[in-house]
């Protein structure tokens, strides 16, 4: 039991509470591993659902076929909005566990659903799952490392999540090509959700003491630097119209998520319309998050050293060019190049004020 506690870095071994990546590598590594499962949950749908809409439910309207993305995006956005506010009242670990409870029914619904309405409902649950779990893994890593290396911490988080997303998208495409669109590809999701919940319940510990330590240090250095928690209304106003710097970050995040939705919903239908098999569609769909994820550690570190703005501008230009390229070419090779370029996007959302 003592060895188990040592690996987790629990206070039962009387270790002094300190901020930093090296000092908290055990719990930090566990949170990185946990985000593999968070990303894997969303990767389950990347290759399958746009094709499933027409093949099994007879939905020929492209707008209806990608309606699941809109419901996912709305529920995730609202979950993100309230997750930070709730974290000030409830522990991050509890919110993380609740997020996994919302994710557990998703693969089961996708396996047994008799009509498309249930798919929409499953994506509401998936959006809540992603909003709560991804937000909390990000915040908990930042709590552990302190203010100096937040970009690097987020780089590790995004790398784990998006590499797992890419792997799940590829695997579901391969499974679907061999066994069919349902139910086999979604068996993977049952295991992902169960393991993610188990890790959160039994191994993850809350990071509130680390956040309190950082706050105390900031207060000691500058009593005016730490104020009372900002209300949800004021946070919304600051990030949407009051502060130009925060508005710019919010706008970049909106554009990036819009592009991600395009890659998720429209691109698989485009590739299928040109006769590509599901396994090759799975490869193309996986390239974007794989490239994105593999670059996050480096770009996170660079953003800590050089700043965020140059990376944001460069990334937005590359994404725009990549999307134009996808629409102009009609074969697997050029599409693969375009998806690589689409993944060249820095961690636009990590700037702290």
Domain spans of the chain, in order of start: 19-208+243-342
End-to-end CA distance of the chain: 41
For residue 235, pLDDT beyond 50: yes
pLDDT at res. 137: 93
CATH of span 19-208+243-342 = 1.20.1250.20
Residue 194 CA to residue 239 CA, distance in Å, equals 35
Cα-based torsion angle of the residue sequence 284, 286, 289, 290 in order, rounded to the nearest 10 degrees: -110
pLDDT at res. 40: 94
Mean pLDDT of 137-161: 86
pLDDT at res. 77: 84
User: Each residue of 60-100: pLDDT tens digit?
Assistant: 766 766 778 888 888 988 898 788 778 778 899 999 999 99
320 closest CA partner among 259, 274, 253, 276: 259
pLDDT cut 70: percent of the chain above it:
85
For residue 301, pLDDT beyond 80: no
State pTM to two decimals: 0.80
């Amino acid at each position: 039991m003592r060895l188990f506690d040592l690996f987790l870095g629990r206070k039962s071994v009387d270790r002094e509470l300190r901020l930093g990546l090296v000092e908290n590598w055990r719990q930090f590594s566990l949170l990185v591993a946990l985000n593999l499962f968070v990303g894997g949950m969303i990767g389950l749908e990347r290759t399958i659902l746009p094709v499933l809409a027409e093949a099994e439910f007879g939905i020929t309207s492209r707008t209806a076929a990608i309606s699941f993305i809109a419901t996912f995006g709305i529920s995730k956005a609202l979950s993100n909005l309230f997750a930070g506010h709730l974290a000030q009242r409830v522990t991050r670990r509890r919110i993380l566990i609740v997020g996994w409870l919302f994710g557990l029914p998703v693969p089961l619904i996708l396996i047994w659903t008799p009509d498309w309405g249930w798919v929409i409902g499953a994506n509401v649950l998936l959006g809540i799952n992603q909003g709560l779990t991804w937000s909390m893994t990000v915040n908990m890593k930042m709590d552990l490392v302190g203010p100096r290396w937040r970009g690097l911490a987020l780089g590790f988080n995004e790398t784990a999540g998006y590499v797992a997303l890419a792997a799940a998208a590829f695997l579901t495409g391969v499974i679907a090509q061999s066994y069919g669109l349902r139910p086999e590809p979604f068996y993977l999701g049952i295991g992902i959700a169960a393991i993610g919940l188990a890790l959160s319940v039994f191994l993850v510990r809350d990071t509130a003491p680390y956040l309190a330590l950082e706050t105390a240090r900031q207060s000691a250095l500058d009593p005016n630097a730490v104020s009372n928690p900002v209300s949800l209304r004021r946070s919304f106003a600051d990030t949407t119209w009051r502060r130009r710097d925060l508005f710019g970050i919010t706008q970049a995040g909106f554009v990036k998520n819009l592009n991600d939705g395009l890659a998720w919903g429209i691109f698989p239908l485009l590739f299928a319309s040109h006769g590509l098999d599901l396994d090759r569609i799975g490869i193309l769909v996986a390239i974007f998050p794989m490239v994105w994820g593999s670059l996050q550690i480096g770009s996170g570190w660079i953003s800590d050293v050089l700043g965020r703005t140059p990376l944001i501008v460069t990334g937005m230009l590359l994404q725009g060019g990549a999307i134009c390229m996808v629409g102009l070419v009609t074969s697997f090779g050029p599409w693969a190049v375009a998806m690589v370029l689409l993944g060249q996007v820095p961690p636009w959302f990590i700037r702290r004020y």
